[in-house]
């Protein structure tokens, strides 16, 4: 069945093709880039359709909306990520639900997650993979630690026994021309490489979560390993409106 006027399969085919071409343009293997389908405001039926088309990673940005969806849709063939701003008083609600939290944007939040997940981690032997969200543009409206503070934050998190940092995430300003995002993506990549060079115990920089519907191809050219795409998959395209 098609999703009404929204042709999720066609949208996904186009997105996958563009991901592949962007990777090849940058001399990268397309397998290095994973698609995170962002499902905020998207129905469970539409998510199932995306699964049927082969999507395996889904991302939510609000805890309230994520809870029922992650309850209804669980399985070995799918994975949930959390990508939105997380309040410290909501950390208990996300325990054990997400394979990756992209948006750890303060040491305070990191410590709250560490505390909330202690018992779960002890019982299951699991660790919670996280990315540190960096406010690479310095916009006041954006969450994230400043590039200058990332080192201190990571050293502060080195004591964490539950959280495991596997990379960085950013959300640059929105531009009409996606090329304008390039310097911000490049800056995140350079920041990750400089952290790698210093080397912080227990911290890996293998993942770079950057790029959304409007600018994911540029992000891939600049080293993204996770692209977070919502509208380009779940919204009608102009020609269909
Ligand atoms: C909504 C959202 C996205 C996806 O944005 P689109 O423009 O729909 O692709 C990506 N990342 C975060 C953090 C989001 O909240």
Q: Say how many Å lie between the CA of residue 69 and the centre of ligand 1.
A: 17
Q: Name the residue of 212, 214, 215, 216 whose CB sits within 8 Å of the most ligand 1 atoms, as the mutation to test its pocket.
A: 212
> Is residue 3 in a domain?
no
- The pLDDT tens digits of the residues spanning 189-201 come to 999 999 999 999 8
> Is residue 95 in a domain?
yes
Q: Say how many Å lie between the CA of residue 126 and the centre of ligand 1.
A: 28
The pLDDT of residue 237 is 58
> Is residue 186 in a domain?
yes
Residue ranges of the chain whose pLDDT lies below 50: 1-3, 239-241
> Is residue 1 in a domain?
no
The pLDDT of residue 141 is 85
pTM, full prediction: 0.95
Q: Say how many Å lie between the CA of residue 198 and the centre of ligand 1.
A: 31
Domain harbouring 222, CATH code: 3.20.20.10
Number of domains in the chain: 1
> Is residue 122 in a domain?
yes
Is any ligand 1 atom within 6 A of the Cβ of residue 229? yes
> Is residue 39 in a domain?
yes
Give the Cα separation of 137 and 103 in Å (integer): 16
Burial (CB count within 10 angstroms: exposed 0-12, middle 13-18, buried 19+), residue 55: buried
| Length reported for the chain | 241
Domain that includes residue 76, residue range: 8-233
> Is residue 59 in a domain?
yes
Residues 164/199, Cβ–Cβ less than 8 Å? no
The pLDDT of residue 75 is 87
Of the candidates 36, 81, 19, 5, the one whose C-alpha atom is nearest the C-alpha of residue 235 is 5
């Amino acid at each position: 069945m098609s999703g009404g006027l929204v042709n999720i399969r066609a949208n996904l085919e186009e997105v996958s093709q563009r991901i592949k071409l962007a990777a090849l343009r940058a001399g990268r293997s397309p397998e290095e880039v994973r698609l995170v389908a962002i499902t905020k405001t998207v129905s469970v039926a539409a998510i199932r359709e995306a699964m049927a088309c082969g999507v395996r990673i889904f991302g939510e940005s609000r805890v309230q909306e994520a809870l029922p969806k992650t309850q209804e849709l669980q399985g070995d063939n799918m994975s949930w990520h959390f990508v939105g701003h997380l309040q410290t008083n909501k950390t208990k609600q996300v325990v054990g639900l997400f394979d990756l939290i992209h948006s750890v944007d303060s040491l305070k939040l990191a410590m709250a997650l560490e505390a909330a997940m202690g018992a779960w981690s002890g019982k299951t032997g699991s660790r919670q993979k996280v990315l540190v969200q960096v406010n690479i543009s310095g916009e006041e409206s954006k969450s994230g630690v400043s590039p200058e503070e990332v080192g201190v934050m990571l050293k502060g998190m080195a004591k964490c026994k539950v959280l495991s940092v596997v990379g960085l995430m950013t959300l640059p300003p929105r531009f009409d021309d996606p090329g304008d995002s390039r310097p911000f993506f490049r800056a995140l990549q350079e920041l990750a490489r400089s952290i790698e060079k210093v080397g912080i115990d227990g911290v890996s920089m293998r993942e770079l979560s950057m790029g959304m519907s409007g600018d994911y191809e540029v992000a891939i050219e600049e080293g993204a390993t996770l692209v977070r795409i919502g509208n380009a998959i779940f919204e009608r395209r102009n020609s269909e409106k």
